[in-house]
Amino acid sequence: MTALAAQTSRVLKPSWWEAISAVVVGVIFAFGAMIGLAFVGLAIGMPSPSDGGTNGLVPPWRLEGPWSAVANIGPLLWMGFAFAGGVELMLRDRTSIARWRVPLVVGAAALGALPTEGDGWSVSGWVPFALLVILVRELATRERTPLRWTRLTAGLAVIMGVALIAATLSYGFLHPLSATMDTAVDHRPRDGKLVLSGYLQSHGRPEVRVLATTAPGAETVRFRPGEVVDFDRGRFELVVPCGAIFDVDRLNVRVRVLGRDVDQVVRLNQRPSAGCMT
């Protein structure tokens, strides 16, 4: 009877407070995993964070197409695994939660990918947090299914892991630029146009040569093609009609890195806050 009671107590759902505490610890673990990725990137010469991460220079990156989406999967799964480890640390004595539980790792990775800031579609940061709490409570009482590894599944896992690492490294090395706008702007137009200025920065070790630059809303982008951009070079000017001033939010840059020509969407660290003065 005592053994049966003990077994029953282990499958009770954790309280809301216990689930919230476990998620908080899991988030701390996931944040530590992200910092670890940043240090690994620094060690191997990948671009490092800058401008508070607004330009997405450390994974997970802002989604700018299929390549960035695939490149984010590996880091997100790594952080999901770390999150699951933190949750397991808090609840393992009385639930079936484990860091190897695929729904928990994948769920945390998917919810971590939701945009919580930015100019486009985004959700409140409390939404993924609340969903994680619900997920943890639901998984805490479900019976754990052992993983069954065969040579085929192990081989597929290794191939998938190598492919995800390659996607992450290639995207990081070949998309090293950020763009910082000058804060002092003369809002008095000339011929109905404003001139905005800033500079491109490269945060990786390989040489980056800019081949072409455009910007939405800009009539002209003044940047010398073929110029090599490093950490403190790469001045540019945007000639923007007054009616399109608030459309300027990025540079579309074609660069040559490590012998490859690639296109990078470089988000400006800040958009124009005021239009033309009349």
What is the Cα–Cα distance from 204 to 115, expressed in whole angstroms?
Answer: 25
List, for residues 205-241, the tens digit of each pLDDT value: 788 888 988 888 888 888 877 677 766 567 888 888 8
Task: Please choose, from the candidates 31, 183, 5, the residue with its C-alpha nearest in 3D space to the C-alpha of residue 112.
Answer: 31
pLDDT over 80 (residue 123): no
pLDDT value at position 37?
A: 83
pLDDT surpasses 90 at 163: yes
The pLDDT of 9-19, averaged and rounded, is 75
Gap between the Cα atoms of 48 and 64, Å rounded:
18
Do the beta carbons of residue 112 and residue 60 sit within 8 Å? yes
Average pLDDT over residues 99-110: 80
Question: H helices of 140-278, where?
Answer: 151-174
Q: Is residue 162 pLDDT above 90, yes or no?
A: yes
Domain with CATH 2.60.40.1230 in the chain: 177-267
Strand partners, 219: none
3-state secondary structure of 247: helix
Q: Give, for 96, the enclosing helix (H) or strand (E).
A: none
Compute the average pLDDT of residues 146-166. Answer: 88
pLDDT class of 54 with cuts at 50, 70, 90: very low
- The partner residues of 210 in beta bridges, in order of sequence, read 255
| pLDDT on residue 83 | 92
**Which range has the worst mean pLDDT, 141-155, 220-234, 248-262?**
220-234
44 vs 272: CA distance, rounded Å? 35
Class of domain 177-267: mainly beta
Report the pLDDT value the prediction gives residue 52, as an integer from 0 to 100. 36
What pLDDT does residue 166 have?
A: 93
In this structure, how many other beta carbons lie within 10 angstroms of the beta carbon of residue 207? 14
pLDDT for the residue numbered 7: 46
Question: What average pLDDT does the segment 182-201 reach?
Answer: 78
Whole-number pLDDT of residue 159: 95
Q: What is the pLDDT of residue 181?
A: 83
Is the predicted pLDDT of residue 145 greater than 80, yes or no?
Answer: no
Give the pLDDT of residue 237: 86
Q: Render pLDDT for 62-94 as a digit per residue (tens, 0 to 9).
A: 778 898 889 989 999 999 999 988 988 888 776
- 32 vs 121 pLDDT, higher one: 32
State how far Cα 145 lies from the chain centre.
Answer: 31
Q: What is the mean pLDDT of residues 90-102?
A: 69
| Integer Cα distance of 101 and 99 in angstroms | 6
- The pLDDT, as a whole number, for residue 197 is 84
Q: What is the pLDDT of residue 274?
A: 65
CB burial readout 63-84, b (16+ within 10 A) else e: bbeebbebbbbbbbbbbbbbbb
**Residue 116's pLDDT band (boundaries 50, 70, 90)?**
low
pLDDT band at 55 (very low <50, low <70, confident <90, very high): very low
Helix (H, G, I), strand (E, B) or coil at 252: strand
Give the mean pLDDT of the chain: 79
Helix axes 66-91, 102-112, angle to 10 degrees: 130
